[in-house]
A = this chain, B = another copy of it.
Amino acid sequence: MREPLRGIIGAVPAYAASKPQLLARLKRIEGQTRGVQKMVDEDRYCIDVLTQISAIQAALDKVALGLLDEHVKHCVVEGHGPGTQEELTEEMMGAIGRLLAR
């Protein structure tokens, strides 16, 4: 098996331009996970808890798709990533496979 590619230390990541929005979304997701804890703590109804968990999953999927999109544009297509395009493509497919399979 091939070694995983290492991000280049000090390199600008593919998501540099959208970093503030990305952090804001992740902050909101963190808040949602705290909200679910509060629901459980208050003995809220299981199905309502599950609905909130589905909402977090959907929000994480959106973040993941956004990251993938920027990765493809900046790393795979423009070739700014830490490897050859073949390596970067293979690595990206692995990431998509993990998202699909969870």
- Chain A residues numbered 6-21 whose CB sits less than 8 Å from any CB in chain B: 6-8, 11-16, 19
A residues with a Cβ closer than 8 A to B are 5-8, 11-16, 19, 22-23, 26-27, 29-30, 33-34, 36-37, 40-41, 43-51, 53-54, 56-58, 60-61, 63-65, 67-73, 75-77, 82, 85-86, 89-102
Q: Are the CB atoms of B47 and A99 closer together than 8 Å?
A: no
- What would 5 A/B residue contacts be, using CB atoms closer than 8 Å? A7-B44, A13-B46, A57-B60, A68-B96, A72-B72
> How far is it, in angstroms, between the C-alpha of A86 and the C-alpha of B89 when the chains are bound?
16
Further pairs besides A54-B64, A96-B96: 8, Cβ < 8 Å: A13-B43, A30-B37, A65-B96, A68-B93, A76-B76, A76-B77, A77-B85, A99-B100
